[in-house]
């Protein structure tokens, strides 16, 4: 008999009663070091006092009015995102997939407005992930996720990761944009080399294409910059953001330049819940913390330490860990044994991590993690690797 919850997940028999900073407290009475962060979402840890306060204060005042009226929190958060990035304008969503969808619609509308409606195709990359709606599935082209849901949404051409010749060949008269995650998260924690991102920007300029970045996972401080593309020194035309933006409250955003955003007029797009006062209160509270002087520098320092420790573990356990990859606090252990076996062995020892494609274990500590919590995590991974050895 089917479970009351649609069985699209198969979780272990574990739930949590509360969280505090880098720790979750399980219904099994145990404490877990949370290096999964709900898939890069609880970027400031659990129950961050500033976020809790912002949500509670807003909850006592006003929850929802819809976008039929002005929402002051949107004005404030949008302006802060505009001031901190390449963007001139922001649309708020409830999720990452919706942020990517908004970007896809803007790509099409931009070329339609410019008298080139035949240019609607978007080039994506193997191994990417953009969400679970019909269009975002097609944009990633992951056959495993598309199987059974055909016919696919038209308009996406998928090329191999980090393969410039293949990409150039795929650009045709109907091409409108290139969509890429600066660090592939779900696909196996694969950073795009900075020179490849630069080459993409150049190609886009040369062919009049839009560069569309999916920073749903890599953004909001995850790599030690507010957004991962800053490492490469290039800027996109459109960018999708979500996950860390609400620190655990569901919220996403699609950012764009004026050139692109001005094609969107009243009635062209919308969302009932997107950017509601609760989401904006928390999003602004997240920005209060992340924009503080020294916050991202501290993340970078801790991330360097984390990477060094992980590399030492890889040297110590060559039969378990093949490779350490990633950027900042978005790290991956490419495994020789099953990645699920390592995640299970870590969980048995009181630590949470997330699997990713390509047999990788994803490590996504909260950006607020302390050095001693990193050491604790390294010790647990060490012991878990030891249990899998031989």
Ligand X SMILES: *Cc1c(COP(=O)(O)O)cnc(C)c1O
**Chain positions contacting ligand X, by CB under 6 A:** 95-97, 100, 129-131, 181, 185-186, 214, 216-217, 242-243
Q: Please state the closest distance from residue 223 (CB atom) to ligand X, in A.
A: 13
| CB-nearer residue toward ligand X: 19 or 185 | 185
Q: How far, in Å, CA of 379 to CA of 44, rounded?
A: 22
Q: Let me know if 302 is a catalytic residue.
A: no
Q: Please state the closest distance from residue 330 (CB atom) to ligand X, in A.
A: 10
Please give the C-alpha separations between residue 40 and each of 48, 134, 232, 318, 363, in angstroms, as whole numbers: 15, 23, 21, 27, 9
Contacts of 253 (CB under 8 A, 6+ apart): 81, 90, 91, 92, 93, 99, 240, 241, 242, 245
Reference 109, options 264, 282, 258, 245; nearest CA is 264
| CB-nearer residue toward ligand X: 35 or 129 | 129
Question: Is 387:345 a contact under the CB 8 Å cutoff?
Answer: yes
Q: How far, in Å, CA of 326 to CA of 365, rounded?
A: 13
Q: Please state the closest distance from residue 156 (CB atom) to ligand X, in A.
A: 14
Q: How far, in Å, CA of 297 to CA of 275, rounded?
A: 29
Name the active-site residue from 35, 129, 196, 212: 129
Q: Which residue has the closest beta carbon to ligand X?
A: 96
Q: Let me know if 243 is a catalytic residue.
A: yes
| CB-nearer residue toward ligand X: 185 or 277 | 185
Name the active-site residue from 35, 91, 156, 214: 214
| CB-nearer residue toward ligand X: 211 or 385 | 211
The pair of three-digit structure tokens given for residue 276, joined into one six-digit string:
């509601």
Q: Please state the closest distance from residue 333 (CB atom) to ligand X, in A.
A: 18
Name the active-site residue from 225, 243, 302, 334: 243
Q: Let me know if 129 is a catalytic residue.
A: yes
Reference 344, options 299, 316, 381; nearest CA is 381
Active site residues: 129, 214, 243
């Amino acid at each position: 008999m089917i479970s009351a919850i649609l069985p699209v997940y198969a979780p272990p028999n574990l739930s949590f009663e509360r969280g505090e900073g880098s720790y979750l407290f399980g219904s099994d009475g145990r404490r877990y070091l949370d290096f999964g962060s709900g898939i890069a979402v609880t970027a400031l840890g659990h129950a961050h006092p500033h976020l809790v306060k912002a949500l509670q204060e807003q909850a006592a005042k006003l929850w929802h009015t819809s976008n039929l009226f002005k929402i002051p929190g949107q004005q404030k958060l949008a302006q802060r995102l505009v001031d901190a990035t390449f963007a001139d304008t922001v649309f708020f969503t409830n999720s990452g997939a919706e942020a990517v969808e908004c970007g896809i619609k803007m790509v099409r509308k931009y070329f339609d407005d410019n008298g080139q409606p035949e240019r609607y195709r978007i080039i994506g990359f193997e191994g990417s992930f953009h969400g679970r709606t019909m269009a975002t599935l097609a944009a990633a082209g992951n056959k495993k996720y598309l199987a059974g849901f055909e016919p696919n949404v038209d308009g996406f051409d998928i090329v191999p990761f980090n393969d410039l010749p293949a990409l150039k060949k795929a650009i045709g008269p109907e091409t409108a944009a290139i969509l890429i995650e600066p660090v592939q998260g779900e696909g196996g924690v694969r950073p795009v080399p900075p020179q490849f991102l630069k080459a993409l920007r150049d190609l886009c300029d040369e062919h009049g294409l839009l560069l569309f970045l999916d920073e749903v996972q890599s953004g909001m401080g995850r790599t030690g910059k507010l957004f991962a593309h800053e490492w490469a020194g290039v800027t996109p035309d459109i960018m999708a953001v979500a996950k860390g933006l609400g620190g655990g409250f569901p919220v996403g955003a699609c950012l764009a330049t004026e050139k692109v955003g001005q094609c969107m007029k009243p009635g062209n797009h919308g969302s009932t819940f997107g950017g509601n006062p609760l989401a904006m209160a928390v999003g602004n509270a997240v920005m209060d913390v992340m924009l503080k002087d020294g916050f991202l520098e501290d993340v970078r320092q801790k991330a360097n330490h984390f990477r060094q420790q992980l590399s030492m573990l890889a040297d110590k356990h060559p039969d378990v860990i093949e490779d350490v990859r990633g950027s900042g606090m978005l790290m991956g252990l490419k495994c020789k044994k099953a990645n699920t076996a390592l995640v299970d062995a870590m969980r048995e020892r009181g630590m949470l991590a997330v699997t990713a494609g390509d047999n990788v274990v994803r490590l996504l500590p909260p950006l607020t993690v302390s050095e001693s919590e990193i050491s604790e995590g390294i010790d647990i991974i060490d012991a878990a690797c030891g249990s899998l050895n031989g």
